């Protein structure tokens, strides 16, 4: 298993927790991001994620390096799933270990914020009344034609 990866199969968080655990670690934080059914009253049926895979893996690795430099003694593992994901599925897992809990929490949140800034992954929402790439805010649910 690589530490920073784009995957197509269901994510098993424990595998990433195991990867970052080591004797110096007193804390492990695991964040999992899931496919949400309802967003501001609009029902999502499922999501489709796409990535520029080699660059996405490179950028995830970069985020891991940033964290290990910012918070000494941390170890990081990140995976993002692509393809069609159903409601409740795990889209992303971030595991961080550190000697003390405060750094593990902070570093974990930093990771998701950075993913949303620099990692080339895109989400297409499939609603009851249409679809839209998230990030392209020109259209809103309910305003688009069926496709």
Partner 1 sequence: MIKLYYFAGLREVTGKTEELADLAGQTVGDLSNWITDQYPDMPIESVRIAINEEYALSTDVLQDGDIAAFIPPVSGG
Residues of this chain that interact with partner 1 (CB under 8 A) are 33, 49-52, 54-56, 58, 80, 91-92, 112, 115-124, 133-136
CA–CA gap between residue 89 and residue 7 (Å, rounded): 13
Q: Using CB atoms within 10 A of its CB, is residue 117 exposed (0-12), middle (13-18) or buried (19+)? A: exposed
Helix (H) or strand (E) segment spanning residue 54: helix 53-70
Cβ at position 146, least distance to partner 1 in Å = 16
Which CB atom, from 33 or from 130, has the smaller least distance to partner 1?
Answer: 33
Supply the minimum distance, in Å, between the C-beta of residue 122 and partner 1.
4
Rounded to whole angstroms, the Cα distance separating 78 from 8 reads 14
Select 24 or 118, whichever has its Cβ closest to partner 1.
118
- Which is nearer to partner 1, 27 or 55 (by Cβ)? 55
Nearer Cβ to partner 1 (20/119): 119
CA 89 to chain centre: 11
Helix, strand or coil for residue 112? helix
Q: How far is the CB of 138 from partner 1 (least distance, A)?
A: 8
């Amino acid at each position: 298993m690589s530490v920073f990866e784009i995957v197509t199969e269901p994510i098993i968080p424990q595998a990433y927790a195991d990867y970052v655990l080591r004797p110096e670690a007193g804390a492990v934080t695991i964040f999992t991001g899931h496919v949400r059914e309802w967003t501001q009253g609009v029902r999502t049926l499922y999501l489709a994620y796409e990535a520029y895979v080699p660059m996405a893996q490179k950028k995830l690795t970069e985020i891991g390096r940033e964290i290990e430099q910012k918070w000494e003694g941390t170890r990081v593992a990140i995976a993002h799933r692509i393809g069609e994901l159903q409601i409740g599925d795990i889209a992303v897992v971030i595991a961080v270990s550190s000697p003390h809990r405060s750094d593990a929490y902070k570093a974990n949140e930093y990771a998701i914020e950075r993913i949303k800034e620099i990692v080339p992954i895109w989400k297409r929402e499939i609603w009851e009344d249409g679809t839209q790439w998230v990030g392209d805010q020109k259209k809103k649910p309910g305003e688009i034609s069926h496709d």
